[in-house]
Chains A and B, each alone.
Chain A
């Protein structure tokens, strides 16, 4: 039976009515109209749906709504805006680290938690953090460069 769940998404509280086992991904995309987390596989194998929950990058496709209730969720829309881009978003633009871009929002969210833990990650640390993110376009080289660039910008602004 559908129930009411309270969520905190990008710093705002909201409530949605849905079955508790509805994947968070569909709630974000369809109820909250946040399209930045994307469906790629629905079973935790590609990373396209990645968002941050209580500081950790998670797959929203295999996180049920009940498990997200009461947690603090950040999606790409909460990271930065065109007017005030997050360092990662700016770096991805500066490095043109996108081909089709379908994987990119999930990758940026994972990179965000990496940079939260590691100020200047090595290539190997970036690769490890993104091990479960697939990019079919082969944008890997630019993505690594963009993350290094963002790390530098964040460090400089500290």
Chain B
């Protein structure tokens, strides 16, 4: 057994980053410097973490400064994903700060010559009988270069002043005033601009290229060819773009057509070999024998794009020895791991700094473009290179949320109770992130002249799960069988997209629950409550129904209707119920949505509401409009015109209500609303016109076909 293995487990990410000074430092400018490995993705996490730290140490929020994550100085917290940041980073900070506060109290008592009980602490200053000393006065006497004990308890919920109250986002003013905020905005002295010419499809190899003509173009500094990887560097951005186009024109690719094409995709996937795992198997022959009505249905979800508004971007500098990289990656340490393999330099010679990017909603092209930039920086050394993917590169090459098929069947007894439930889900794995396996997952890795093998994607295990996330219903059924059929053949590049398989599984479960309720004439809200034991689950459903003024058995009027969806995210995270109101016009429009949410202890209420509102609008977009288009050659949806998302005129008015549970652990809010939203919309459509559409997106054509 290793030494670390014998140490006690510490809360959250403190367990793997055990020294207090890895997290906290009293800075010379009278602020508390907080280093976390989690990164801002537009979800407001840094504000929530600052609230936690300020509260434990009795500081004002503006006395806390969150230091941008970098592989040089930050704790390694792996990925910022899965809505786990408050649990992992937040817990670590609570305990680290509580311990530092206790150490400071001792030091202050000593310095001021009073007992600890006599000390008052406000805004970072200890007071006793007219004397005072601040954290910063005492900093030299507080030894932070020590391992956390995890034994000092954080404050009780009732003693918190900041946590639980809405705090304005600390990163927001810069963004509203147009100050440089994103990796796209980095402007280093001497910086030049890079662009990459990708192969024409996933399988293409370069047979010839005319680089000479491109080298002669104005401003061109370098044309890089490394196997099938091709790029240009130029003085000015528009020159790089022109050189990119010219280089692309001068290439000949050997490009076998290797995709099934969108029309055949579900048949193709269902025909692939699978690894099957039964993930729930509850048998009750007696209950099953009471089956009176059995329903069967197949639900489908296409590939969905992350579709960040700002295409992926990175800046890299190579000084002949060290690479320095600025990236909007969700995991700077795992990314560095892949860089080591692709650049063939040791980790000590690669620094990755996090810089905000456009919202990513999962694993987009952030990591891939970082390698592109590093490869081009080598050619422009020592000048820094910014690589900005063009819109069509982002849409063509980003890893998509996988297509999925869910086959469900369920039986009711004569009383309208579910007595048997079966759910089979077919899906690719949901994670192709960097930092795993012997190879790399970065786009350019296998294109290099000395190719780095591609690490196959993985599917995270239960209980959180990935393709099978939320496939096990939270409803209480006497007999159930749930199986996951994992397809490892990945025709399109795929990876983690917000909520992973949870979106499609909940869409299927909630649709089937509605179909069952309709078949026995039950009210969909009452039907769900009847099958739930968990009081927190019931509470969000009841609250949503109350907000919407839901009337038992309410029916749509032939164009307008309402429906409900629910889930407990990952079956371990937040609870969320959504009611959607739709109207069938030219196509389906979601007019309004009401959501009730329980994330346990709420750190920043307005931050949670913002996340839920956004989650509902984005999931409305997925449900009504989105599908990646592709033929047998490659992705064909390469601009917004080919991949439309929800517009202002189509965005529902959303109302959110939080159920605060100060004594329950905090859970992330970013991914809880998507599945319920998808289900609620499909159910509202049925409620409106009596027709069920089981394949996403719920387009006008699909609805027309279903109406017949």
What is the bound-complex CA distance between A14 and B390, given in angstroms?
Answer: 28
Q: Which of B255-263, B302-310, B543-551 contacts A (4 or more CB under 8 A)?
A: B302-310
Q: Which residues of A contact B178 (CB under 8 A)?
A: 34-37, 75-77, 79, 105
Q: Which residues of A contact B356 (CB under 8 A)?
A: 100
Q: Which residue of B lies closest to A26 (CB)?
A: B237
**Which residues 134-178 of B have a CB within 8 angstroms of A?**
168-169, 171-173, 175-178
Q: Which residue of A lies closest to B310 (CB)?
A: A102
Q: Which residues of A contact B106 (CB under 8 A)?
A: none
* Cβ–Cβ contact A142 & B391, under 8 A: no
Q: Which residues of B contact A138 (CB under 8 A)?
A: 613-618, 620-621, 646, 651
* Cβ–Cβ contact A141 & B310, under 8 A: no
Q: Which residues of A contact B238 (CB under 8 A)?
A: 18-19, 22-23, 26
* Cβ–Cβ contact A136 & B308, under 8 A: yes
* Cβ–Cβ contact A131 & B237, under 8 A: no
Size of the A side of the interface (Cβ < 8 Å), in residues, is: 60
Checking A42, A104, A124, A126 against B390 with a beta-carbon cut-off of 8 angstroms, the contacting residue is A42
* Cβ–Cβ contact B617 & A89, under 8 A: no
Q: Which residue of A lies closest to B670 (CB)?
A: A99
Q: Which residues of B contact A70 (CB under 8 A)?
A: none
Q: Which residues of A contact B610 (CB under 8 A)?
A: 96, 99, 139, 142
B647 within 8 A of A: yes
* Cβ–Cβ contact B645 & A141, under 8 A: no
* Cβ–Cβ contact A134 & B640, under 8 A: yes
A55 within 8 A of B: no
Known pairs A96-B610, A100-B42; A126 contacts B648 (CB<8 A): yes
A152 to B: closest C-beta gap in Å: 18
* Cβ–Cβ contact B309 & A103, under 8 A: yes
* Cβ–Cβ contact A39 & B388, under 8 A: yes
B641 within 8 A of A: yes
A93 within 8 A of B: yes
The B contact surface, by secondary structure, is loop
Q: Which residues of A contact B43 (CB under 8 A)?
A: 99
Q: How many A-B residue pairs have CB under 8 A?
A: 175
The A contact surface, by secondary structure, is loop
Checking A33, A38, A140 against B184 with a beta-carbon cut-off of 8 angstroms, the contacting residue is A38
Q: Which residues of B contact A35 (CB under 8 A)?
A: 178-181, 184-185, 187
A68 within 8 A of B: no
What is the bound-complex CA distance between A136 and B647, given in angstroms?
Answer: 9
What is the bound-complex CA distance between A124 and B649, given in angstroms?
Answer: 7
* Cβ–Cβ contact B391 & A98, under 8 A: no
Q: Which residues of A contact B606 (CB under 8 A)?
A: 96
Q: Which residues of B contact A30 (CB under 8 A)?
A: 187, 236-237
A130 within 8 A of B: yes
Identify which of B177, B238, B639 gathers the most chain A CB atoms within 10 Å of its CB: B177
* Cβ–Cβ contact B172 & A98, under 8 A: yes
Known pairs A23-B238, A43-B639, A99-B42; A136 contacts B645 (CB<8 A): yes
B311 within 8 A of A: yes
Q: Which residues of A contact B41 (CB under 8 A)?
A: 100
B650 to A: closest C-beta gap in Å: 9
Q: Which residues of B contact A100 (CB under 8 A)?
A: 41-42, 309, 356-359
What is the bound-complex CA distance between A35 and B356, given in angstroms?
Answer: 14
A residues engaging B (CB < 8 A)?
A: 18-19, 22-23, 26, 29-30, 33-43, 45-46, 48, 75-77, 79-82, 85, 89, 92-93, 96, 98-105, 108, 124, 126-128, 130-131, 133-144
18 pairs of residues in contact across A and B, judged by CB atoms under 8 Å? A30-B236, A36-B177, A36-B179, A43-B639, A45-B641, A48-B310, A99-B44, A100-B309, A101-B175, A102-B42, A103-B309, A105-B176, A127-B648, A131-B647, A136-B618, A141-B617, A141-B654, A142-B610
The 5 closest A-B pairs by CB, nearest first: A36-B178, A100-B42, A138-B617, A101-B175, A76-B178
